[in-house]
Structure 1
Amino acid sequence: MSGTAELTGVGVRRFTRRATARRADTSWLTLGGDVLSALTTAGVVVAVLGGAFSALRGRIAARPPAPATDLPGELTAAVAALVVAAGVVALLSRLGPLSATPAAAAWWLPLPADRRGLLRGDLQRVGAVAVVSAVVVALPVVLAAPAAPTVAEAAVTVLAAALLALTAVGVLVLLQARALTGWVAPVAGSLATAAVVVPAVLGTVGPAGPAPTWAPTAPDLPLPVLGGVPLLVAAVALLAADRVGGRVPAGALRERGTAVLVASVSALSLDTRELGRALGTPVHPPRRARRWARVRTPWQAVVAGDLAVTTRSPWRWGQLAIGTALPVLAARTDGLGGVPALVAVAVVAGWSLAAVALGEPARQAHGAPAADRLLPLGARDVVRARAVVPLAGLMVVCAVSAGLVGLGWEWAALGAATAPAWAGAAVRGGYRPELDWSGPVLSSPMGAVPTGVAVTLVRGLDLGVLGTVPLVAGLLLGAVPPLLLGVALGWSLLLGLVAVETARRTGP
């Protein structure tokens, strides 16, 4: 950049881009090959997803309708899309959407150039990521519809999702410029929780009268109006976001950029523990002090501390509610409820989410083991005390969830019998060791990862899945024999003891 050139944000970005290109080893031929490879991969993924969902749709249609399924498949697909969209919006509100990496914050932000031009490239990248995420979310929902969609219907739906994502990015930038993004993540989490819990409750209670025959249809509007209004709204939101982008404080940009850097590095190295710390929600102190009058022994102090950590975060309550309602939602949905394998997948997903929520005290104890070492308890006793709160919480979650899935007390008993395995899984996952980078590494599309990364990722979840085997057997049988209850309880207790013992070896 010459001395007489105007120092603008666009000029700084152009100079950085050209300097990077002069020092890069990538040629236009290599770049074209990468683009072609990415497009080919995307086409293969779309073809595989389309074939898989088409085969699943035909298999579901060939099965007889299952009893006690009152929710249409379109509603459950919309709920899934809403939950994923709420998660993406909450993630964007935590990480930006505008941010500055430590390098950019050290070089770009102090320059006497307009910050609006400096951040325009970041806004474009976030918009592109939002569009890709919207397509990834909308395409499976369209392909999973009970009726096979046409190419035009699929294209219109995906385009509408992309425009909605761009609108959300623009609105988030407007809120970020006014430092008002703090309420976005809690509202998105509450919306996702209500979207899962309310249909599950309605599907279980059943309609008071005859079930309405509703099917989603597009409004009877001209095509220019139907497609032009979302496009206009998205364009206005992005233009307004570009206009106020320069008003975001440098401190907020630097803080969000550090979080983005840590989260991206953790995701590429498959370090879910560090990723959770980077995306962790702030925990506010309680409004009034709590008095634990009945806490008299060290192990009771551990249980009381775990209970305080679990209950003071609204996110944990939302995770427990979603974990309880997700299997019920799958069991009450037309088509899904008649396929035991799909209900079992929903059970594992929901109870895993509940176990992660109740394993937060163990994760914090693993990150700061000094507090546990000050207690007059051995390592085994500390880990056993850590399992009390997950066991109590998961007994409620598993019993209520399984009881509503099977609509019977015996199913609730089977779910409660599975709780010890999931409680042990929560503690085992919380005390899992850090990734070992001192040994050999593997080459992956995301970079180098340790050879034992797969074992570390599934540590805890493996025993939880094994503990769910008796429930899966009950789903396949369609009933819960008394022998199955005894086998499930013994098997679950054995897995819980194994989980606590293996957690003790890597614990405090």
Structure 2
Amino acid sequence: MARGAAEWSGAAVRRFTRRATAARADTSWLTRAGDALSALTSAGVFVAVCGGTVSSLREEIAARPAAGAAVLPGGLTAAAVALALGAGLVALFARLGPVSATPAAAAWWLPLPACRRSLLRGELGRAVGLAVAVALTVGVPAVLAWTRTLPGVLAGLAAAGLLAALGVGLLVVRQAGDGARWVPAAAGTVTALAVAGPAATGCLIAAVGGRLPRVPGWSSPAVTVGVLVGLLAATVVGLLVADRRLDRLPAASLRASGETAQYATASVFSLDTRELGRALRTTVRRPRQSLTWRWVRAPWQAVVAGDLAVLARSPWRWGQLLAGAALPVLAARTEGLAEVPVVVAVAVVLGWGAAATALGEPGRRAAASPAADRALPLRAAQVVWARAIVPVAVLVVVCGLSALLVGQGTGAPVAWLALGAAAAPAWAGAALRAAYRPDLDWSGPVLSSPMGAVPTGVGTTLVRGPDAGVLGTAPVALALLLGAAPWWLVGAQLAWSLALGALAVGTAQPHD
């Protein structure tokens, strides 16, 4: 390193790294061009599929009579879902940095006597590019639900990309300041309120028999261009400020974020959703005061108390429960979606599945660290059965209230409440079955996939748990198709759910 001080710039270090990587790489420019063409083709197919799905859904909605309890316009619901997904992406990028350094880069890049700002500029560019790509992918269905004109679609996607880039810039500014630990919690709150707020509003309006006033769209091109220009200016300013703050990022924070990002990336490419959840999971807060469990007398009660403590100290999980209960209600109160029972049934599966995933957190922690459970004077099967008590109790409330509001206006509120509560055992069993599923077996044969090499049993592992929940919701889907919840269906739902829940808990045994 005696070539002079000019070689110690961050740009020179990054250029040297790129050249060394290219010299040892097995891929050529032709291969990279082919990969880029394949990615563009996949993006085009995705847009075409989304457009065709939205168009066919619009035609099916137009052919059906309007639902009386659907009072929310489709544009409002699309905006609420887009806001919820955007807040979730903000939480994800805040958890990953958004600027980070891999362990290798932290080992030999950061200690170099080079400008850290120019060293990390490439990481900032990659974070912005990834955020824009994800925002465009997520924004395509929402924009197509809002408008079908080409200028409107392009303007909506441009706004989504600019907002994503601006969000990354603001996160970097916070990361360089006093940290962004509060950002995931705030983003989670926005996500839950974005789903629950419109759902509650729609239920209140349907109860009083009112209608929401129509919000006029931005039909003027001048207004649309002005908004986009303002977003562009704010994005440029935000990225410039973020670029100037790169040299203030501490090495410890960059290293920790890089390890998390590497862990999450490896989990995604191996299709291991449980490891991905472990990489991105939130920490359990320590209580401000000690909790006393005077009612704990037996070992199984200690298991229940531990599960309650984990959930009580995880505010993120309570927001997940709220959003999971409100998502089916939002679909049932939205004009256009309420007329298609299949769409509402899909929302029921997604919402109740999210609630079950939140309640499976104690089981996932116990599966990762089984020492505490093995110290109890209980057999492994007894511990799992005791761990099913809290999910069943909470899901009875969540699914029951959700189904009650979904069936608003049908004239049988008690039947819908009972129908939703009867589905709780199946989803509780699904939560435990997913929490205790075995790890991927990398010792056997592997398959080649677009994500890379994956074990042959990865498909079975991915559906282990959700399969019980989806099957257990079949009677609810039938009630949505019928437009009513007869009591014979409630009884069938309870018997079917208990059988599936018992089977799921019985097969959800801890493994060594």
Question: Does 2:211 correspond to 1:206?
Answer: no
- Asked if the contact 2:7–2:13 (Cα under 8 Å) also holds between the matched residues in 1, the reply is no
Distance, in Å, in 2 between the alignment partners of 1:484 and 1:507 is 37
Question: Does 2:486 correspond to 1:481?
Answer: yes
Match of 2:453 in 1: 448
Counterpart secondary structure, 1:449? strand
Deviation larger for 47-56 or 78-87? 47-56
Deviation larger for 286-295 or 206-215? 206-215
CA apart distance, 1:66: 1.0
CA apart distance, 1:56: 1.1
Match of 2:344 in 1: 343
CA apart distance, 1:135: 1.0
C-alpha RMSD of matched pairs (Å): 1.5
Distance, in Å, in 2 between the alignment partners of 1:78 and 1:286 is 36
Distance, in Å, in 2 between the alignment partners of 1:215 and 1:397 is 35
Distance, in Å, in 2 between the alignment partners of 1:311 and 1:257 is 30
Match of 2:24 in 1: 23
- The letter of the residue matching 1:281 is T
Distance, in Å, in 1 between the alignment partners of 2:213 and 2:88 is 30
- Asked if the contact 1:54–1:144 (Cα under 8 Å) also holds between the matched residues in 2, the reply is no
Distance, in Å, in 2 between the alignment partners of 1:104 and 1:210 is 57
Match of 1:174 in 2: 173
CA apart distance, 1:220: 7.2
Deviations 1:365-414 (Å, cap 9, x if unpaired)? 11111111111111221111000000000000110001110121100101
CA apart distance, 1:2: 6.5
Match of 1:377 in 2: 378
TM-aligned CA distance change 1:445 to 1:221, over 3 Å? same
Distance, in Å, in 1 between the alignment partners of 2:8 and 2:353 is 53
Match of 2:439 in 1: 434
- Asked if the contact 2:72–2:212 (Cα under 8 Å) also holds between the matched residues in 1, the reply is no
Counterpart secondary structure, 2:181? helix
Distance, in Å, in 2 between the alignment partners of 1:465 and 1:392 is 19
Deviations 1:244-268 (Å, cap 9, x if unpaired)? 1011000100010000100000110
Residues 34-53 of structure 1 aligned to structure 2 (within 5 Å):
34-53=35-54
- The letter of the residue matching 2:296 is V
Distance, in Å, in 1 between the alignment partners of 2:225 and 2:392 is 57
Counterpart secondary structure, 1:181? coil
Counterpart secondary structure, 2:8? coil
Deviations 1:2-50 (Å, cap 9, x if unpaired)? 7234311011001111111122222222222222222122112211211
Match of 1:491 in 2: 496
Residues 35-184 of structure 1 aligned to structure 2 (within 5 Å):
35-145=36-146, 148-184=147-183
Counterpart secondary structure, 1:66? coil
Distance, in Å, in 2 between the alignment partners of 1:355 and 1:223 is 41
- Asked if the contact 2:446–2:455 (Cα under 8 Å) also holds between the matched residues in 1, the reply is yes
Deviations 1:136-165 (Å, cap 9, x if unpaired)? 1221111123xx521111111111111111
Counterpart secondary structure, 1:381? helix
Distance, in Å, in 1 between the alignment partners of 2:402 and 2:371 is 37
TM-aligned CA distance change 1:225 to 1:335, over 3 Å? closer
Match of 2:318 in 1: 317
Gaps of 5+ in 2: none
- Asked if the contact 1:266–1:275 (Cα under 8 Å) also holds between the matched residues in 2, the reply is yes
Distance, in Å, in 2 between the alignment partners of 1:254 and 1:342 is 43
Question: Does 2:472 correspond to 1:467?
Answer: yes
Match of 2:404 in 1: 403
- The letter of the residue matching 1:443 is S
Distance, in Å, in 1 between the alignment partners of 2:220 and 2:251 is 45
Residues 188-227 of structure 1 aligned to structure 2 (within 5 Å):
188-206=187-205, 209-217=210-218, 221=222, 225-227=226-228
Match of 1:237 in 2: 238
Distance, in Å, in 2 between the alignment partners of 1:31 and 1:369 is 45
Could you state the TM-score of these two structures normalised by the residue count of structure 1? 0.97
TM-aligned CA distance change 1:210 to 1:344, over 3 Å? closer
TM-aligned CA distance change 1:212 to 1:304, over 3 Å? same
- The letter of the residue matching 2:468 is L
TM-aligned CA distance change 1:335 to 1:222, over 3 Å? closer
Counterpart selection for 1:413 from 415, 418, 423: 418
Could you state the TM-score of these two structures normalised by the residue count of structure 2? 0.96
Question: Does 2:264 correspond to 1:259?
Answer: no
Counterpart secondary structure, 2:354? helix
- The letter of the residue matching 2:451 is M
Distance, in Å, in 1 between the alignment partners of 2:200 and 2:398 is 15
CA apart distance, 1:306: 0.7
- Asked if the contact 2:10–2:117 (Cα under 8 Å) also holds between the matched residues in 1, the reply is yes
Counterpart secondary structure, 1:439? coil
CA apart distance, 1:454: 1.1
Distance, in Å, in 2 between the alignment partners of 1:168 and 1:306 is 35
Distance, in Å, in 2 between the alignment partners of 1:249 and 1:179 is 11
- Asked if the contact 2:205–2:211 (Cα under 8 Å) also holds between the matched residues in 1, the reply is no
Deviation larger for 206-215 or 187-196? 206-215
Counterpart secondary structure, 1:213? coil
Distance, in Å, in 2 between the alignment partners of 1:389 and 1:222 is 52
Distance, in Å, in 1 between the alignment partners of 2:272 and 2:93 is 20
Distance, in Å, in 1 between the alignment partners of 2:453 and 2:225 is 49
Deviations 1:272-312 (Å, cap 9, x if unpaired)? 11111110112210111111111111111111111111111
CA apart distance, 1:179: 2.8
Gaps of 5+ in 1: none
> Aligned residues: percent identity?
59
Counterpart secondary structure, 2:447? strand
**How many residue pairs align between the two structures?**
505
Deviations 1:322-375 (Å, cap 9, x if unpaired)? 111110000000011111100000000001011011111111111111111111
Residues 280-319 of structure 1 aligned to structure 2 (within 5 Å):
280-319=281-320
Distance, in Å, in 2 between the alignment partners of 1:183 and 1:362 is 26
- The letter of the residue matching 1:3 is R
- Asked if the contact 1:73–1:334 (Cα under 8 Å) also holds between the matched residues in 2, the reply is yes
Distance, in Å, in 2 between the alignment partners of 1:35 and 1:2 is 39
